[in-house]
Amino acid sequence: MYPRFHLAFPVTDLEAARGFYTGILGCPTGRESDRWIDFDFFGHQLVAHLVAPEDHPSAATNAVDGHAVPASHFGVIMEWQQYEQAVEMMKANGIEFVIEPYIRFAGREGEQATLFVRDPSNNHLEFKAFRNIEMLFARDLESY
């Protein structure tokens, strides 16, 4: 088993965060207070901390594959079938895609599926899957 990661991130509305992470993504909650909530994000600990809207950071982007990828984002790497199920769940729940689901390096060894969504506080999340998980840390996917 791999070590789990812990990520604390800002939200501007705890109940909206609960609705998104628990109600839509299916993440169970752990400890919480009136200022934060722990979420079990696919086996990892996310902690949503309440901040004032004016204190929430804005998102810069970088160009990747012709998309404006949010420079600040987090997410999960899923099995291919789990990713496909997540895409259908997001569509069924009317989740707006920041970057629509698409395939990178199609038909090549580094083939991967990816998409970006935004939570109610405008935090960006990436969901992705690799056809071959061994390519996760490959240095030069362009040549595969």
pLDDT tens, residue by residue, 54-94: 999 877 899 998 999 999 999 999 999 999 999 999 999 99
Q: Is residue 104 a contact partner of residue 111, using CB atoms and an 8 Å limit?
A: yes
- The pTM of the full predicted model, rounded to 2 decimals, is 0.90
* DSSP of 10-40: EES-HHHHHIIIIIIT-PPEEEE-SSEEEEE
Residues 42 and 103 in one domain: no
Residues 35 and 76 in one domain: no
Residues 27 and 87 in one domain: no
Residues 23 and 84 in one domain: no
Residues 73 and 127 in one domain: yes
Residue pLDDT, tens place only, 89-135? 999 999 999 999 999 989 888 899 999 999 999 999 999 999 999 98
In the Cβ-directed half-sphere of 69, how many Cα atoms lie within 13 Å? 14
Q: Which domain, by its residues, includes 41?
A: 1-52
Q: Is residue 21 a contact partner of residue 27, using CB atoms and an 8 Å limit?
A: yes
| Pairing relationship of beta strands 36-41 and 44-50 according to DSSP bridges | antiparallel
Domain count, the chain: 2
